[in-house]
Amino acid sequence: MVAMAYQTAWPAAGLPFTVEDLDRLPDDGRRYELLDGVLIVSPRPTTVHQLAATLLTTHLVNACPGLLYVIAEPAVQLTDKTEFDPDIVVVRREDVGGAKFWTPPLLAVELRSPSTAIVMILLVSPGAKVTSPDAAM
């Protein structure tokens, strides 16, 4: 691990963050994500959040056909100014292999919890059916 000052990782004043800037931030236990050049910082999830993600991942693994994989907390980079780490994704086998995913996953899951409820990001592949969890209420 390389120690780096925040000033070294920060973009010049007035410029949006890029994935290159994001990759230079120190690994300090926080979750750093980018949405259109805006840095989003959140705390590590609680163990209750992680347990819920693990249980859901297990169900998804058991339900997915053989050509699809379920991955926990991957980096998903959509542009040079948008990268985030959903709790769970479902992807095609051919998309697995790099340090991060470069195309939208078939399914991206971000569990709601007090630490993550401020920002909800939904990735949808073209032609995918979208169902709101609030629709069942």
pLDDT tens digits, residue range 92-116? 999 999 999 999 999 999 887 665 5
d(CA 42, CA 32): 7
Nearest to 37, CA basis, from 76, 83, 6: 83
- The pLDDT tens digits of the residues spanning 32-90 come to 889 899 888 888 888 888 899 999 999 999 999 989 999 999 999 999 999 999 999 99
What backbone phi and psi angles, to 5 degrees, belong to 129?
-85, 130
Q: Dihedral angle at the C-alpha atoms of 48, 34, 99, 27, nearest 10 degrees?
A: -70
d(CA 35, CA 78): 10
Look at residue 93 in the predicted model and tell me its pLDDT: 95
Q: Kindly report the pTM of this predicted structure.
A: 0.71
d(CA 83, CA 102): 9
Angle at 76 between CA 19 and CA 60, to 5 degrees: 165
Look at residue 131 in the predicted model and tell me its pLDDT: 52
What are the structure tokens assigned to 134, written together? 């609030």
Nearest to 119, CA basis, from 78, 86, 89: 86
